[in-house]
Chain A
Amino acid sequence: MNELWGNVLEFVTSDKVWSVSRAIILIIIGLITAKLVSSTAKRLIGKKIDVHRAMLLKRGSYYLILFLFLISALHELGFNLNVLLGAAGIFTVAIGFASQTSASNLISGLFLVFERPFTVGDVIRVGTTTGEVLSIDPLSVKLRTFDNLFVRIPNESLIKSEVTTLTRFPIRRIDIMVGVAYKEDLKKVRTILESVATKNPLCLEEPKSQYIFQGFGESSLDIQFSVWTKRENYLELKNSIHEQIKNAFDEHKIEIPFPHRTLYAGSITEAFPIKQT
């Protein structure tokens, strides 16, 4: 019994146990410090930056502090840090090769957060997909399209491709393409278009509407008429102004032509006999 007690005492007072205890204490202190520092950093700076950067700051500071304390704990346990870091380097390279895509997405995600081309709640268009941003995560951005589909776009493709943020500025322009018959008086057409824009309350008075003559089309004089509106009223104005232009043209007897096709059956044949019954 005495011998056992002596062995236990010897074990407890040995350097090894002291090192392990010190390492455990270091990890506990590390956990508490990391938690405290990251929460305080988020509280102090979090209000000045957006949600994603705040989250990144919190996580970054937490893991950095924890990592430093972990290294110290390993040092206490007698690990040779040079060898350990060397091994970690080789391990990282191996992991890097194996998870190239994920790493690329992760780095792209970081760039997205710092560049901030859009934030949660914005409406963006990537390729042919248009939707509201639900979240910006380390590997991907999640969108909800307007037909209520959930779309995951990898961060890497967002960094590589063209992204349009539709909700960045408070006002938007609608370009209306309209063709009128060659016989029409363009001055009159312009006056009618401008009066339609003035009468529509959703159409902004400033910036003024723009009338651009696009050219002599195949079967019509092509005109671009551009009007501005508040971003939220974009669809409503797009619907109402097209209808109002059509009505105004009808009222003033201005023809919106459609392509005419004349059928010709060759020089030797007679004209098509058309009979009305």
Chain B
Amino acid sequence: MNSVYPNPSTWWGSFTFNDRQILRWKIGPLTIFVRYLSKEWQITYERLEEFGDSESTWCVDQVDSIPEEFGNTSRYIFGKASNVLTVTPILADRPVISRPRSPFNLALGEETTLYVSTPLWVELAVGDSKIKLDEIAMQRPSDTWFGPSTREGELCYASSTYCRLGLEELPQRYHRAITPVLIRNQANSALSVERLNVPAPHLPLYTTPSGQLWTPKIVLTREEDGEMAALRIEKNPPEEARDGMEVRKPRKVSSEGVLIRAFNAMFN
């Protein structure tokens, strides 16, 4: 883990380029090359399909050339391009569905916290006005459908990892963010949790000094028997990242603090 530009402890931030300079980001399974020419930005990336958690490291360095076998290249032409590139981690643009290793029941009157690991994207923008060039997924998550039938529902991403009951079970990964989800069952019957829907587009991102990314805690309260649950997104960083700094605001701002959702839309 090392970095020379501009903050040695993180892979995100604003990077100033010289003409014809190429920087390389290696974050977990993703490798990005960015080349700056006076009127043009070029972005090339490649993603590993098979990737182990133990390999979740990152580095940013300067290279001389872009390997030819890297296929995904996009070019962005400007009248006069700013030489400052802002790299930011960002959460998914759709909700993320995560499962516990095996479904469990939450007894009446009980509460528990689950830790959900969600995939991250890298957002690349240039200039002071942060003109967005591209958004690249660190790992392309599978699509999934979340709804009562094949006619109604919403398209989501499926998390490739399980949600855990203990934080120590969750490995530290630089290419994923962690969301604590507190589930309260205040109804008169047990609650079966098979799948969990994390509203990723509504969550901001915080970082700990070690570079692990967190989202605020989500509180889900089931107050009556039935389909309804109150969902609340806390305004501060979670206890596990108490001194966390905000890295990215949410993609969508929810008008109310509490979102009421049909229960089916949260658990299934």
Q: Is the CB of B150 within 8 A of A230?
A: no
Chain A residues with CB under 8 A of B151 = 169
| Proximity bits, B8-29, A CB within 8 Å = 1, else 0 | 0000000000000000000000
* Complex partner residue of A203 from B97, B143, B150, B195, CB under 8 angstroms: B143
Q: Closest residue to A200 on the B side, CB-wise?
A: B142
Nearest chain B CB to A228's CB is how many angstroms away?
7
Chain B residues with CB under 8 A of A171 = 145, 150, 155
Q: Is the CB of B143 within 8 A of A229?
A: yes
| Proximity bits, B127-155, A CB within 8 Å = 1, else 0 | 00000000000001111111000110101
Q: Closest residue to B137 on the A side, CB-wise?
A: A201
Q: Is the CB of A170 within 8 A of B155?
A: yes
**Cα distance A50–B157 when bound, in Å?**
32
Chain A residues with CB under 8 A of B30 = none
**Cα distance A200–B142 when bound, in Å?**
7
Q: Is the CB of A205 within 8 A of B158?
A: yes
A166 contacts B by Cβ under 8 Å: no
* Complex partner residue of B145 from A199, A200, A201, A206, CB under 8 angstroms: A206
Chain A residues with CB under 8 A of B142 = 198, 200-201, 203-205
**Cα distance A204–B157 when bound, in Å?**
9
A202 contacts B by Cβ under 8 Å: yes
Chain B residues with CB under 8 A of A89 = none
Q: Closest residue to B195 on the A side, CB-wise?
A: A206
Chain B residues with CB under 8 A of A230 = 143, 155
Chain B residues with CB under 8 A of A206 = 97, 144-146, 158, 195
Q: Closest residue to B50 on the A side, CB-wise?
A: A199
* Interface core residue of A169, A200, A205 (most chain B CB under 10 Å): A205
Q: Is the CB of A201 within 8 A of B140?
A: yes
Known pairs A169-B150, A171-B150; A201 contacts B155 (CB<8 A)? no
A96 contacts B by Cβ under 8 Å: no
**Cα distance A202–B143 when bound, in Å?**
6
Known pairs A171-B150, A207-B150, A230-B155; A201 contacts B144 (CB<8 A)? no
Residues 200-216 (chain A) with a chain B CB within 8 angstroms: 200-207
Nearest chain B CB to A20's CB is how many angstroms away?
61
Nearest chain B CB to A241's CB is how many angstroms away?
13
Q: Is the CB of B150 within 8 A of A201?
A: no
Q: Is the CB of B145 within 8 A of A204?
A: yes
* Complex partner residue of A205 from B49, B144, B150, B153, CB under 8 angstroms: B144
Known pairs A169-B151, A170-B155; A228 contacts B141 (CB<8 A)? no
**Cα distance A171–B144 when bound, in Å?**
10
| Proximity bits, A48-61, B CB within 8 Å = 1, else 0 | 00000000000000
* Complex partner residue of A201 from B97, B143, B153, CB under 8 angstroms: B143
Nearest chain A CB to B123's CB is how many angstroms away?
20
**Cα distance A234–B150 when bound, in Å?**
15
Nearest chain A CB to B171's CB is how many angstroms away?
21
Chain B residues with CB under 8 A of A203 = 142-143
**Cα distance A55–B155 when bound, in Å?**
33
Chain B residues with CB under 8 A of A228 = 145, 150
Residues 48-84 (chain B) with a chain A CB within 8 angstroms: 49
**Cα distance A228–B145 when bound, in Å?**
9
Nearest chain A CB to B126's CB is how many angstroms away?
28
**Cα distance A202–B158 when bound, in Å?**
11
**Cα distance A205–B156 when bound, in Å?**
10
**Cα distance A203–B97 when bound, in Å?**
15
Q: Closest residue to A199 on the B side, CB-wise?
A: B49
**Cα distance A169–B143 when bound, in Å?**
16
**Cα distance A169–B153 when bound, in Å?**
10
Nearest chain B CB to A163's CB is how many angstroms away?
18
Chain A residues with CB under 8 A of B140 = 201
Chain A residues with CB under 8 A of B145 = 171, 204, 206-207, 228
**Cα distance A104–B225 when bound, in Å?**
54
Binding site for B on A (CB under 8 A): 169-171, 198-207, 228-230, 233
5 closest residue pairs by CB, A with B: A205-B144, A205-B158, A201-B140, A201-B142, A206-B144
Seed contacts A206-B158, A207-B145; 13 additional CB < 8 Å A-B pairs: A170-B155, A171-B150, A198-B142, A201-B141, A204-B144, A205-B97, A205-B142, A205-B143, A205-B144, A206-B144, A206-B195, A228-B150, A230-B155
